[in-house]
C-alpha cells in the first residue's frame, strides 16, 4: 500500500485516461455509499476488488468509510495512489482477485464497473468468489455489478457487425486537452460466451484530424447470464439477497441495463448450521427503502 506518484511513474494510456473516459453509472455512487454506511454501522471496512483508478473506492473513503482497493494493474493503482495522496482511510494492494490473502475480514466487498467479466472461466469466477467469502465476516455483504447481456447486440456481432471498428465514445484527454475518439471492434464467441474487444484511440487536433492513434491488444470478457450467476453464488456458498436491474433498486427485468447482485455470507453457527439473511439488499434504514 502507499507508494509512488502517477507523475513519477509513466502509466499507459488506458490508466491515464480511464477517469476521463468512464462516467459513473446512474445512481451507482449513492448505492455504494449506502452500502459502505451499512458496513460502517457494523464497525467494518470495505474491500473493492479490481478497483482500477479508485473511481469508487476513493469516494467511499472521502465519505468516511475505511476502504482497501485491490487491482492487478500497477498502472491503474499508480493513478489511484496519486489521486488519494491526501486521503486517509484508503489503501491500495496490487493483487489478483482470484487469489489474494489480506489476512483480515471486511463487512462489505464490492466488484464494481463490470470488472468481474474479466474472469473468463467458471473456475476463475468461483476462485474469486471463494476468496471474497474468506474475506467477509459472517453476515457480510458482496455487491457485484455486471452488464445485463443484450442478446440482440451479441447476435449482431455474430451475424454481421463482428470485428468492425465503430465510434463508442469521445472524451477529453486531461494531459493534452485534446479530444479522443474511442473506436471499438467487438466480436462474440458463442461457445465460450466470450466478447472480444479491441480499442483504437484516435487523438484529434482542433480541426478533427487524427494526430495520434493507439490500438490495444484484444481483451476478452466473459458474458455472464442471470442463472449462471445464481449457480456460481450457490457453488461458493453465498445467499443471494437481491438482483437489481439498475442502481435504483429496480428488480432485474427484460429491459434492465445492468445486473447488480447483492449476496451475503451466511452467519455461522456452532452446530455447523448457516442461517439465511434477515435483511434484503437495500442498505438504507428500513423506513427509507426504495423498493418497499
User: Is position 51 an interface residue for ligand SAM (rule: CB under 6 A)?
Assistant: yes
Q: How many residues sit close enough to ligand SAM to count as binding (CB under 6 A)?
A: 17
Stretch that binds ligand SAM, among 106-114, 204-212, 222-230, 233-241 (CB under 6 A): 106-114
Determine the Cα–Cα distance for residues 250 and 281; give it in Å rounded to an integer: 11
Of 139 and 185, nearer to ligand SAM (C-beta) is 185
Q: Is residue 47 part of the contact set for ligand SAM (CB under 6 A)? A: no
**Considering only residues 35, 47, 92, 118, which one is a binding residue for ligand SAM as defined by CB under 6 A?**
118
| Binding span for ligand SAM by CB under 6 A among 70-78, 182-190, 222-230, 238-246 | 70-78
- Cβ pair 241, 281 in contact under 8 A: yes
**DSSP structure string for 233-278:** HHHHTPEEEEEESSTT-PBP-TT-SEEEEEEEPPEE-TTS-EEPPS
56 sits near ligand SAM (criterion: CB under 6 A): yes
| Using rule CB under 6 A, residue 224 touches ligand SAM | no
User: Which DSSP state fits 279?
Assistant: S
CB of 223 to ligand SAM, least distance (A): 15
Q: For cell 482477485, what's the residue? A: 97
* Among residues 47, 58, 97, 241, the one that binds ligand SAM under rule CB under 6 A: 97
Say if residues 79 and 15 touch (Cβ distance below 8 Å): yes
Q: Does 265 bind ligand SAM (CB under 6 A)?
A: no
Residue 96: C-alpha distances to residues 102, 125, 167, 197 (Å): 11, 12, 31, 21
Residue 22: name the closest of 152, 170, 137 by CA: 170
User: Which of 65-73, 165-173, 209-217, 271-279 is the region at the interface with ligand SAM (rule: CB under 6 A)?
Assistant: 65-73
The values of phi and psi at residue 27, to 5°, are: 80, -10
Cβ proximity to ligand SAM: between 93 and 183 the closer is: 93
Give the interface with ligand SAM as residue ranges (CB under 6 A). 50-52, 55-56, 71-73, 76, 96-98, 112-115, 118
Amino acid at each position: 500500500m502507499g507508494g509512488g506518484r502517477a507523475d513519477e511513474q509513466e502509466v499507459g494510456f488506458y490508466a491515464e485516461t480511464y477517469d476521463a473516459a468512464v462516467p459513473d453509472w446512474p445512481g451507482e455512487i449513492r448505492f455504494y455509499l449506502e452500502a459502505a454506511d451499512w458496513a460502517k454501522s457494523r464497525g467494518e471496512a470495505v474491500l473493492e476488488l479490481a478497483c482500477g483508478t479508485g473511481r469508487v473506492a476513493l469516494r467511499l473513503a472521502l465519505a468516511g468509510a475505511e476502504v482497501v482497493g485491490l487491482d492487478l494493474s500497477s498502472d491503474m493503482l499508480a493513478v489511484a495512489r496519486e489521486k488519494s495522496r491526501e486521503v486517509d482511510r484508503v489503501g491500495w494492494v496490487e493483487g489478483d482477485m482470484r487469489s489474494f490473502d489480506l489476512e483480515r475480514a471486511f463487512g462489505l466487498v464490492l466488484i464494481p464497473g463490470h470488472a468481474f467479466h474479466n474472469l473468463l472461466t467458471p473456475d476463475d469466477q468461483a476462485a474469486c468468489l471463494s476468496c471474497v467469502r474468506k474475506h467477509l465476516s459472517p453476515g457480510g455483504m458482496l455487491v457485484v455489478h455486471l452488464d445485463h447481456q443484450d442478446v440482440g447486440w451479441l447476435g449482431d456481432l455474430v451475424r454481421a457487425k463482428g470485428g468492425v471498428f465503430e465510434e463508442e465514445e469521445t472524451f477529453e484527454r486531461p494531459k493534452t486537452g485534446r479530444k479522443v475518439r474511442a473506436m471499438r471492434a467487438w466480436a462474440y464467441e458463442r461457445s465460450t460466451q466470450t466478447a472480444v474487444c479491441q480499442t483504437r484511440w484516435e487523438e484529434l487536433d482542433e480541426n478533427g484530424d487524427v494526430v495520434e492513434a493507439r490500438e490495444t491488444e484484444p481483451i476478452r470478457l466473459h458474458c455472464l447470464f442471470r442463472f449462471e450467476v445464481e449457480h456460481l453464488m450457490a457453488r461458493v456458498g453465498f445467499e443471494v439477497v437481491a438482483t437489481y436491474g439498475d442502481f435504483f433498486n429496480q428488480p432485474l427485468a427484460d429491459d434492465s441495463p445492468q445486473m447488480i447482485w447483492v449476496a451475503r455470507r451466511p452467519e455461522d453457527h456452532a452446530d455447523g448450521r448457516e442461517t439465511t439473511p434477515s435483511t434484503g439488499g437495500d442498505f438504507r434504514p428500513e423506513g427509507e427503502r426504495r423498493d418497499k
